[in-house]
Structure 1
Amino acid sequence: MKSFFTFLSLCMMIFGFSQSKSKTANSENGKIQEIETIILENKSDPKALEILRKADRLYYSNSPRSLDSYSYKAYEKVSLDIDQDSISNFKEAFNKNIHLFNKKKRDSLSDISARQIFARSKLFLWERAQEFKYSKRFGEKINILDNRISGLKQPINELITLQSNRNKIPHQITQENRSLYHFFLSDTIVMDGRKTFVINFREVSYRKPVKKRKFTGTVYIDTETFGIKKIESLSREKDESRVSSTWIYYNSKWFLAEERVKMEMSRMVMEEDAEQENDQAKRPQKKIRKSFGTYAYLYAEYFDFQSPVEENKSDFKGYTFNLKNADGKTLDQYRTRPLSDREMRTYKTIDSLGRIYRIDSKAKFATGLINGQIRIKSLDFDVGELVNYNLYEGLRVGIKTKVNENFDAYVSPDYYIAYGFKDDSWKYGLGIDFKTTLEKNSFFRIEYTDDVFASGEFHRRLWNFKMRMMNYGNNINNDKYYHYKGVSLSYLNDVSNGLTLAFAARRNFEEAQFDYNFRNEGAGFHNFNTLFTLKYSPNSTNIMTPQGKSIVEQRNPELYFNFEKSFSAFGGDFNYTRFDALFIHNFKTLIGTTGFRLYGGMVFGDAPIWKNFTMNGMASNSRDLNFNLTSFLGFATLEGGKYYNDRFIAYYFTHQLPWYFKSFGQNVSSVDLVLRGTLGAMKRPQNHQFDYQQLDKLYQEVGLEWNNFLSSYFNLGLFYRVGYYTTGNFKENFALQFKLKLLQF
């Protein structure tokens, strides 16, 4: 459910309505944002813990995913409003203060308009109807049957795919969060004709004052199957926040049937004149301050359960998400109850404001950043090309623009131009895409490029924006670049939801921009090569939008594979074969979450140094302290641009401990243990005449990463080199590393 309210906060920012206070319901997400400390001593009822262990262990066998097939529908409604019991009082206070509002010179949503809206309607309303289909043979298909968001004329496809926690085990049940609560078995009752355990819980840091609740939530567990029947979670203070999820027993499995959330977002204060006695009329008028809470509400109902269902391959064709309709005209077919008059007025009020405040364009701008783009009418600007830095170019600034579907649905030209301040040179590229269909990613591309690139880079074809952004710091201390100029023809096709294939043929002139001689033949050569790329991500979910494929959720495992072949045809000077592969996965255990990246590559035949592997070092030997930004495949303590191999293997392991703590602020911190290592070799080092070294012994570094460092949105990593390459100089072995938390693992 966290994603729903992240979106709601985004909408509030788009409107200009700021929050003065924000609290998070205790069960709203697994990040435990109200935990103040961790008490390791377990004081829970042993009987309650044993029941929860069984519920956790049997969760999958009790869930619909253990069936061969099923289908059901859902109707969801998300809104932002004042407390329902305060509407009449709010209207009265608003009417008494209307003369004060009229004296304002500037009417803005954050100042006056929000109060005016609440006087007659909600501030925000979002409805959605979905159909969920599942088959063990064909996977999951989610059809968005209809959707309507107040204030938006056009759907924001990246947002309407947001999902609740319908397929995720509640975090109160999981073993890693067991120490965050105290659980007490209080009763056994009958619910819907089935005997049910009643387990109350509260946070371990919770100390009950007089006016606060004794417990902050209740879990209801079926006594026969140990399936979860219901979870209720309350805020510490009464009437602030509430989360409730209910399951029903159907076909011997527990299906989520209903979700209700009430979460306090902010408070508004209005003043009104106090009534005075006649003998006090000459005294200054007293003011009465009235406070009204604004709340986010979620209501979701799941219905029309069927299992088993007829499994037609055509029903699961394409990407995971399929948008059937998005104008709200068919929502009446799926509403489980009619809209209230206040809700009906919301669409009329907010839609009119949406036109005035251009909410559509603001929302598209905000969501475009998710994919690294800034959209202005028919042009998309690549955020990743605006500012970069490496040791060869220094500060690099540029602009990359692509003509989007607003100009033409099938043809999309693009160009970029960039300038490096240190090498004092311009770079540019021109390209054009020709789509073969609008149902999936499938297009031909022709491009001409005149640019520079780091020597020995691992292929990043088909990496998404987040992965590329994580790798921006990879060449901060690498000055071994080569210049390339030429033309390429490529084709990309999404064979299925989880499999993408790409093929490219290129003819370039390539030349080292450093003191280099290859086989005593110089530093510049013609290269004609082909590149085959495969990406396999079977568990990721995607949706096709007018802008192209959008990744809804990137899930592991993932495999990236590149096979490059150079030919002496068409004037090419080389005849080598190069491949590399990257495998990413993570998994949870009782002792935390472990993630790893395994990657490597090999070159057969003679290839210039820039077609070998640079080993991804990011450290600088000229600085007193190694400080760098995170890299998806880099080493914090390894000197950049110094080591090259024609074959190597590497690993990156990280383990997040199930231990949460707070320094200050609202963010909860945790600690990751990190281990990185690599080993390689160079078969014919005599081919390369320049100053470099082989990395032919195992290189390792260990690290400790503090997530949400000092309650910020950054992670701070401390790394130290261990093993064969350790030196007696501490500054060479030690490195600090910063990472934006949103990049995750």
Structure 2
Amino acid sequence: MRVVYTLLLLICSIAVHAQYTVTGVVKDGTTNSPLPFASIITQDGTIIVGDLDGKFNVETQTRQQELTISYTGYENKIIKLQAGKNFYTVKLKIKPQELNEVVITQTDAGSQIILHAINRKSLNDPQQKLNSFRYKTYNRLIITANPDSLSGKIDSVFVYEKAGRILEKIDSTGFKFKKLIEKQHLYQTEKVSEYNYTKNEGLKENILATRMAGFKEPIYEFIGLQLQSYSVYNNIDLLETKYIGPLDNNAFTEYKYHVLDTVSIDNRETYMIYFTPKRAKKKKRLDGILYIDRATFGVAKAVFRVKNVLDINSTHYFKFEKDLNLWFPDKKTLKIVKGNNKQDINILGETIKFDAIDETSIPREKEASDFVYVYSESINSEKEFNIPLVIKNPAIAIEIKEEAISRPEEYWKQYRTTTLDERSLNTYPALDSLVAEEKIEKLVKLGKRVITGYLPLGFFDLDLRQIVKYNNYEGFRLGLGGITNKKFSETFRIGGYGVYGTKDGEFKYNLGAAVRIGKFSDSWIGGSYTEDVQEIGSTNFATDKRVFKIYDPRPINVSTFYKYWRWQAYLETKIIPKTESRWSFNHTAVDPRFDYVFNVNDRLYSSYTLSTFEGTVQWNPFSDFMQTPEGRTEVEKRFPKFTFQYTQAIKGALDGDFNFSKFDFRAEYEKKYINGQKTSIVVQTGLALGEIPITHLYSTSPNNLDKDGVIARITFAGKNSFETMYFNEFFSSQYGMFQFKHALRRQNLFWKIKLTPVLVTRTVWGNMEHQERQVGQPYKTLEKGYYESGLELNEIFQGLGLTFFYRYGPYHLPDFDRNISIKLSFVLKLF
């Protein structure tokens, strides 16, 4: 899946085909520096705006004789166009008498205009002013290149030896690429959506039609991506990177503003205001132009530019609705080309590395791929305002019906503003044939399943997590497992596993089945039987996502387990908005595999039976979700997220031995910064009341071996475990844990050696009620609070890293080295 994303965004340069094209650059005549967003006026009065680097591109249907170049504070200049010359460097002279006035007054004027625009957002932002609206959008995204920008020559590649120059091969790459791009685009998608909004229920996108070249069934995760911000009045999102918006309430701390000109849009006068970050050397910066209505101070047009690893131009067009006295979104365009910065950038969930060219790079001859670009255009129609509107399933931000992937050509024609050209028409059959021949669609689906830990084998998905594991009790845990998929049945599933421990010499297994009782809510009711082992004192939330790991580092060191035999009946559902939940009844026989008895009312239990009800709810209230024919997925992850779990053991029910209650809670928060840093916080608590044995109490995830010497204790670090706490050292019947992590930007050390420094602090408080009941297993309690801090140096080489932690506070140990933990870390990125 991510491979497809990468191909869509590894893009390079842009050229636009028109009948008559003139390009150039506007510069300051004295400093020779580019003048951003200059105005270029054609003979027929059309105004074209240059970009951040002063470059402009004029496309007309008729040949122009001259162009007028205008820039605030500079003298206008008319250039005569010459036959056969397509590029012009235009240098403007400053108006000497207006220099000081322009620099001061125009900047102040720009700030005053923006201040008015910010103060009037409630009157100009459609989502604040209108009670409801509805409209349809046609979107088309292509990856292509301009054939005229490619030389298409066949090169001779030589090698040089003592005998002289020797022909090695004929390189026809550029020639073949030009021939290909003359016939078709490299990639193409289309989408028709209906947007519905009410103040009470928010904004929802219903995708009415979608098609991706080469795919019978589209990649829904890609279809649901929002590459551009919906609104220009809030923070700006571009390709999963957030920027403070130029109309944000705190925008003046980030930007400075300059009035460039006044222009007419939709027969209304607007201020053309250039905004740029106050910090000139800011690495991830947003520049652009806002066209502010002189009467309403609403946005009539907005241009956003990010120039980094990627060179992104996002343009929002608005149409003035006279009856509403409001500028309403009419069109959006997005152009992505290769940037000139060597810094890595996070795009669509992964870090993409670019062979970008900057001023210090050794010049190289451009390749065919340097001329490839991405272009997206969205056009709105059928607008309705302040109408009675009820949004069905408002908690779902994007919904795709099954019929959306099989619309006939006649359906598409009614929403396209122009007929597809020959290259566009050729793209679909060409890519359909290529994808089928290379089996790309099958590979994408395979990748999506492998990420969750399954390998599809016909109607059965092999569970990759069950093949091999290791821990100190079982030794190597070898086995097979899996679950049936929709080829077997869409409403019924069978799953299970069988494993063998080479050290304990015992066979464990699970077998279960379930029936789907709700498709939209993805509700299943089922049952299972399991005979297996479990780490004592562990806390597992039943709704935690399956993520495939080649290895799970922490369990490698665990040696204290209990064996259990469990019958389970369960219901899992997503029927509650923005949640997923699991509800189960369990009948479990427990046999501790260590020296332990549980003392209840002077009766000693070396083994026991538990009858428990368990309910778990994962709630992500701020995230956006997408409903597809394949199910529901989280497309925009936002924080905080919350998990609640309640467990109740019932004495006497099916011979249950004890009564107890457990309340578990977890809150997660994460913030990514524009400069590449990231902060994450986890708060987790647990409360156990009643007759509860140590097997089901809390050990708060220790991950340190009880051995002498720092070197002897080196193992692999966990994700959220206490690296200096020894296994079975502390147990609690109630606890509160806090973890803080701050990841700095990835650092280059030397050669190919890089690392990501992460600062970590963890602390936990706990208490143990009725300590006299736990007999045989030695432990300490956490009333005074446990503290550790450290540094993770992740991904130093080939995914390997090092972590260093130190234990301090009330439970600091007398021997200094016993408080130190050094571990290996490993990050494996499959996709």
What amino acid is aligned across from residue 809 of structure 2 in structure 1?
G
Is 1:607 aligned to 2:712, yes or no? Answer: no
Q: In the alignment, which of 545, 558, 570 is matched to residue 654 of structure 2? A: 570
Aligned-residue CA RMSD (Å): 4.6
Q: 1:143 to 1:384 in 2, by over 3 A?
A: farther
What amino acid is aligned across from residue 624 of structure 2 in structure 1?
T
Partner of 2:222: 159
Is 1:246 aligned to 2:330, yes or no? Answer: no
Q: Which moved more, 1:589-598 or 1:123-132?
A: 589-598
Q: 1:195 to 1:11 in 2, by over 3 A?
A: closer
Q: 1:679 to 1:50 in 2, by over 3 A?
A: farther
Is 1:681 aligned to 2:767, yes or no? Answer: yes
Shift of 1:445: 0.9
Q: In the alignment, which of 271, 295, 306 is matched to residue 195 of structure 1? A: 271
SS of alignment partner, residue 165 of structure 1: coil
Shift of 1:351: 0.7
What amino acid is aligned across from residue 448 of structure 1 in structure 2?
Y
Partner of 1:28: none
SS of alignment partner, residue 185 of structure 2: coil
SS of alignment partner, residue 728 of structure 2: coil
Q: 1:136 to 1:147 in 2, by over 3 A?
A: same
Partner of 1:497: 577
Conservation of the 8 A alpha-carbon contact between 1:56 and 1:173: no
Task: Measure the CA separation in 1 of the matches of 2:255 and 2:750.
Answer: 24
Partner of 1:293: 370
SS of alignment partner, residue 190 of structure 1: strand
Q: Which moved more, 1:288-297 or 1:475-484?
A: 288-297
Q: Taking structure 1 as the reference length, what is the TM-score of the superposition?
A: 0.77
SS of alignment partner, residue 392 of structure 2: helix
Equivalences for residues 291-330 of structure 1 within 5 A: 291=368, 293-304=370-381, 305-314=383-392, 316=394, 320-323=398-401, 324-329=403-408, 330=411
Task: Measure the CA separation in 1 of the matches of 2:470 and 2:204.
Answer: 42
SS of alignment partner, residue 405 of structure 2: coil
Partner of 2:669: 585
What amino acid is aligned across from residue 187 of structure 2 in structure 1?
F
Conservation of the 8 A alpha-carbon contact between 1:486 and 1:507: yes
What amino acid is aligned across from residue 292 of structure 2 in structure 1?
D
Q: 1:221 to 1:638 in 2, by over 3 A?
A: farther
SS of alignment partner, residue 363 of structure 1: helix
Shift of 1:257: 3.2
What amino acid is aligned across from residue 640 of structure 1 in structure 2?
F
Q: Quick check: which one's helix share is greater?
A: 1
Shift of 1:497: 3.0
Partner of 2:90: none
Partner of 1:517: 597
Shift of 1:676: 1.8
SS of alignment partner, residue 406 of structure 2: coil
Equivalences for residues 526-545 of structure 1 within 5 A: 526-545=609-628
Is 1:9 aligned to 2:6, yes or no? Answer: yes
Equivalences for residues 365-514 of structure 1 within 5 A: 365-466=446-547, 472-514=552-594
Conservation of the 8 A alpha-carbon contact between 1:86 and 1:292: no
Deviations 1:70-106 (A, max 9, x none): 434333333333334336x43x759x99xxxxxxxxx
Is 1:336 aligned to 2:333, yes or no? Answer: no
SS of alignment partner, residue 316 of structure 1: coil
Task: Measure the CA separation in 1 of the matches of 2:706 and 2:110.
Answer: 54
SS of alignment partner, residue 370 of structure 2: strand
Partner of 2:68: none
Deviations 1:607-642 (A, max 9, x none): 221110111112223262565656554222222332
Partner of 2:196: 133
What amino acid is aligned across from residue 652 of structure 1 in structure 2?
Q
Conservation of the 8 A alpha-carbon contact between 2:400 and 2:628: no
Q: 1:563 to 1:190 in 2, by over 3 A?
A: same
Q: 1:561 to 1:49 in 2, by over 3 A?
A: farther
Q: 1:687 to 1:78 in 2, by over 3 A?
A: same
Q: 1:172 to 1:161 in 2, by over 3 A?
A: closer
Q: Which moved more, 1:716-725 or 1:152-161?
A: 716-725
Deviations 1:219-263 (A, max 9, x none): 3363874859423437589xx945232242666577483122132
Task: Measure the CA separation in 2 of the matches of 1:52 and 1:418.
Answer: 70
Task: Measure the CA separation in 2 of the matches of 1:244 and 1:590.
Answer: 18
Task: Measure the CA separation in 1 of the matches of 2:706 and 2:329.
Answer: 58
Q: 1:683 to 1:217 in 2, by over 3 A?
A: closer
Is 1:720 aligned to 2:806, yes or no? Answer: yes
Task: Measure the CA separation in 2 of the matches of 1:410 and 1:522.
Answer: 43
Equivalences for residues 225-236 of structure 1 within 5 A: 225=297, 229-233=301-305
Shift of 1:536: 1.9
Deviations 1:638-675 (A, max 9, x none): 22332211111111233467x78655799998765433
Conservation of the 8 A alpha-carbon contact between 2:509 and 2:531: yes
Q: In the alignment, which of 789, 799, 804 is matched to residue 702 of structure 1? A: 789
Shift of 1:549: 3.1
Task: Measure the CA separation in 1 of the matches of 2:799 and 2:319.
Answer: 41
Q: Which moved more, 1:550-559 or 1:502-511?
A: 550-559
User: Unpaired runs of 5+ in structure 2?
Assistant: 15-102, 158-171, 340-353, 356-364
Larger radius of gyration between Structure 1 and Structure 2: 2
Deviations 1:448-472 (A, max 9, x none): 1111111112132111235x86994
Task: Measure the CA separation in 2 of the matches of 1:715 and 1:52.
Answer: 51
What amino acid is aligned across from residue 812 of structure 2 in structure 1?
T
Q: In the alignment, which of 609, 614, 634 is matched to residue 721 of structure 2? A: 634
Q: Which moved more, 1:370-379 or 1:60-69?
A: 60-69
Task: Measure the CA separation in 2 of the matches of 1:741 and 1:541.
Answer: 27
Shift of 1:696: 2.4
Deviations 1:208-229 (A, max 9, x none): xxxxxxx995333638748594
Partner of 2:778: 691
Deviations 1:253-285 (A, max 9, x none): 774831221324999xxxxxxxxxxxxxxxxxx
The count of aligned residue pairs is: 669
What amino acid is aligned across from residue 372 of structure 2 in structure 1?
Y
Q: In the alignment, which of 233, 236, 242 is matched to residue 169 of structure 1? A: 236
Q: Which moved more, 1:631-640 or 1:479-488?
A: 631-640
Conservation of the 8 A alpha-carbon contact between 2:396 and 2:625: no
Q: 1:201 to 1:316 in 2, by over 3 A?
A: closer
SS of alignment partner, residue 610 of structure 1: helix
Task: Measure the CA separation in 2 of the matches of 1:613 and 1:321.
Answer: 41
| More contact order relative to length (CA 8 Å, sep ≥ 6) | 1
Deviations 1:167-204 (A, max 9, x none): 45254546999999996737243352321312357995
Q: Taking structure 2 as the reference length, what is the TM-score of the superposition?
A: 0.70
Task: Measure the CA separation in 2 of the matches of 1:333 and 1:352.
Answer: 27
Q: 1:588 to 1:319 in 2, by over 3 A?
A: closer
Q: Which moved more, 1:131-140 or 1:62-71?
A: 62-71
What amino acid is aligned across from residue 259 of structure 1 in structure 2?
T
User: Unpaired runs of 5+ in structure 1?
Assistant: 13-18, 25-43, 98-108, 208-214, 268-287
